[in-house]
A and B are shown apart, each in its own frame.
Chain A
């Protein structure tokens, strides 16, 4: 066991875990932040997507020992009231079916739009292609990303 101090959603948190523990399981098992989902464990499905210094990363494949002082943002910290433009757009388009992958989808979309508020279709495709939706809500995801881009300040 080792002790790590990590910055999650603007708060510094102490966790005692094995050094190779993926950030995903630190968030879920140690910190109770369960919005970040376990889907595949090998960075193939995107359900575990969080932001690391603003960049979308797969938390299932990122050991806690590699985080250092980088800032982690999870779905719970994306906005205070759940009203980030991407979260709003997701609700307005009524995207989710089972909903399990959607936090990861939203984290991928919000990381894209933060850097590139007016992405092209190809840029959206490149950003979203790593997130699997088994229910097949891709059409609405596309609509929602486009709508969110109109809401970005």
Chain B
């Protein structure tokens, strides 16, 4: 059955012709003038019919689909256009995808974060395609003088019942004269031809041939290069600068000081990086100077603090723990992490009298522009922001600090400038995943039922480090979840799957241990809790019990849970960012050493848009989760990060990943996001498998730095 959906009035406020004679449909995704035009000739442009902000069709039958959201490896630049092309019934081979620049009149939520792009845009992208398809079919009906009901659209053609065909390009100009429909039919998913296929990344050829795609690849004649020296220690501020030696060096144009920054400006990257080393800078204390040893002490104090923010309270935990047959209490701790996208931070800025030009990689271009407007005291519409491809983000590029620096520097030197961060700048520059410590407590009755549950989360600039409404909330009658935050000069930020990137491990490792005490199979234990949440829920339940059970059962089936005699299996399941992922890790003992052989993932993200991109998103998320659980650690000494580059900040490498098998639940619900949800469960599955194999429980990350893992390598697989 087809879905009939009313077009939202807000999406279709006005209708008019563009300067080029094309069609313009009202608000946000429909104003048409600012297509990313460099790529097209003037003639093509004039003749292009812009159906809406996402779609333009030329008389030569080039279907141009604009992808507004920043692309950082989540594959949105391929999946968004697939959705439009599906409802358009386009020929994917004729689709040309163009990255749209920042345009808040045309696009809503033009950002990358929270695994939210596809869930947010799913319906409007479908309508963008379906509306245009409708108009093309009506145009053909008019030309052939037949009822549009007799016509079909397929793979880029409108087809007459007698077999004649017209390409979309041939119909585009006439379609522009057709009234925009107030209702459009969306396809039933059984009729999908593009969605659900394995469509390859639209930028593959450019990427494998080294074309300029990223912010750091942006060069312009007359552009200056800059590096900025920032305080190495959090809690220090700039006191004095002696830049005489740096200024005298080859290729140096200027040294400029602003805020706590000393910027060296010159004619090439290497020259400014050399001159920066010749700066003589003094800093003075501004706030607390903290070390990791301080944080360990602070965590202990906060875990016992009487003043905590209550996040959720059900029943009477005090009574439940008093009358419990058994109480289990465990603590888990994680370090700070650097985001470390492969492309270091950078941005180009040119602040002129009449406006500002910004070019570079940002997850939040709209926020970056508005912050720049505030900083420079100008109107946001005086600023253009061209989005390059992002060489990774992981949350680091949600912040606009590096954009603002470039803009401020350009305004001071009155010249176009690209600011480049080194790896050391990036690793020492803040915005880390916050360090957090948790205490979990469970009260079991005599039958092994979990009747009480407590979680306290304490963190360094971590905000609320709990997800109080997540499982097992709702399944336990007596529950208390609270948190305490320590404010620190060490800056933190959202790091892929914020909070849950560690919380999921801690919770899933704890539940594994509780199940053991309760003498239950870890999977059965979780299923019983979910059944209880379904039959007799306590308080609000903000996760979908059936979807969680669905991924658990799929993971059990695909991994052969509990049926492999020679392998130690560890289980984990987690809900984050609207999606559900269960994982099983398998460890084999070889020469008395645990070897991580394989991992299974069962994911429910609703309808899978792109089988290839989605599969890699899950595999990559698991590699990310595994690598940071095993190795990731940023420590501080006197306010400065002790790891400054990949020589001692260890990222997972080629030979350290196990085989991964990915399965998706096929339930046909609207897409719910996949950029993050595969990461959180990984650490728990691996830790639980390590316990099964070795009898050793892991409580802290990174695993490989713990006493329990001394001498262990987990094996080299690839």
**Chain A contacts to B: CB under 8 angstroms:** 1, 17-18, 20-22, 25, 28-30, 32-42, 44-45, 47, 74-76, 78, 82, 87, 90-91, 94, 96-103, 106, 121, 124-125, 128-129, 131-142
Contact = CB atoms under 8 A, between A and B. Distances in A.
B271 interface: yes
A100 B205 contact: no
A134 B342 contact: yes
Interface centre among B75, B342, B612, B623, by most chain A C-beta atoms within 10 angstroms, is: B342
A102 B207 contact: yes
A100 B342 CA distance: 7
Nearest to A87: B208
A17 B389 contact: no
Contacts of B652: 136
Interface centre among A17, A42, A134, by most chain B C-beta atoms within 10 angstroms, is: A134
B52 interface: no
Contact of A139 (B72, B74, B660): B660
Contacts of B394: 134
Interface string B199-223: 0110111011111111011010000
Contacts, number: 190
A62 to B, nearest CB: 13
Contacts of B616: 94, 97, 137, 140
B620 A135 contact: yes
Contacts of A30: 268
Given A76-B210, A125-B654, 8 more contacts: A18-B250, A36-B210, A37-B216, A42-B647, A97-B75, A125-B655, A134-B392, A135-B73
Contact of A37 (B205, B391, B424): B391
Given A97-B616, A99-B73, A137-B620, A29 B343 contact: no
15 contacts: A18-B271, A34-B219, A40-B423, A42-B423, A44-B646, A96-B208, A98-B342, A99-B203, A100-B392, A102-B208, A103-B208, A103-B210, A133-B342, A137-B616, A137-B619
A100 B391 contact: yes
Contacts of A21: 268, 270
A131 B654 contact: yes
Nearest to A30: B268
Contact of A136 (B198, B270, B621): B621
Interface centre among A30, A90, A98, A133, by most chain B C-beta atoms within 10 angstroms, is: A98
Nearest to A124: B718
B205 A91 contact: yes
Contacts of A17: 268, 270
B344 interface: yes
Interface centre among A25, A33, A35, A76, by most chain B C-beta atoms within 10 angstroms, is: A35
Nearest to A82: B209
B657 A138 contact: yes
B635 interface: no
B647 A98 contact: no
A134 B391 CA distance: 9
A18 B270 contact: yes
A96 B624 contact: no
B390 interface: yes
